[in-house]
Structure 1
């Protein structure tokens, strides 16, 4: 049985508006700064022995962020880190290198066996329509960098989000620093990490 819709009362609308404000409120976030943990390169073949893996881990760049860490030190570290993590020539990565259009594109060129200029992007998680055409899904451009940020980046830079103030190095608001995914270049990423260093007491 269908019932006619009843208009919402003003009291209900006010309650919904208050709930919406609560959901949009900036919340505290607890940040812990720790020594970095070495991680193996992202595209590494699985056929290395334990000894070879341990040796490779010793080559992973590390940093321990503090209030005295300079922007230049962070930038140098990030250049070394991206070269190591993606197995790229370090001299090809500069402070203004675009994370996706330069660094990820070099990775795809190597993985696909094509020139840098001939890298093209496709779509993942697609379905097929009745004519067999790919529909939906998302472009795979940026996915390698996104996976780095999602899986390994907090270990590699030593910035962790924890559950409470007791375990935290400092408390911040959840919109205070922005997001790694919003960074376009190595310099943008350095700016974000340096802003965290400036909050360390």
Structure 2
């Protein structure tokens, strides 16, 4: 449905504000729907864009007034620029596994932070005459999320998961770049060894 749940909104905003204090931070809201994330974030971040697959929502929810730019396209095919933050709120379940994996992998390379909110074991058919509202991955749960997307996503430490409308909602963040993390640890080790050597001289 175009109206996503309110769970984790404050967690998401606090996380972005803490990690990206500059009002020049760029954000992409994938599957904008009714524009919930623009309403949540645009007072802090005017450079927030959207990607919406269903054209009628653009006019119905006045998305062009809420976002700096709106891509009217399927995110699977959309060519995007690099963003500081990309949000996929209640989107993953609407995609096939193959398309979702390809999209998560590609978007991870086009942002500093990827935020994913997903419902577990939530069935939904076409709504509002919009075929894209169907939940294709209605079987998602913590184990399946790890199997399909554990390479790219990790469950948020602070929020984890909560229940809404009878099913569980979970918040995930992009996994840290393993190469960068390894290099950072290696640099710290080199610095430690250097300090030890200097202290003995």
Q: Does TM, scored on the shorter chain, surpass 0.5?
A: no
Structure with higher helix content: 1
TM-score by length of structure 1 reads: 0.20
TM-score by length of structure 2 reads: 0.20
Computing the radius of gyration from Cα coordinates, the structure with the larger value is 1
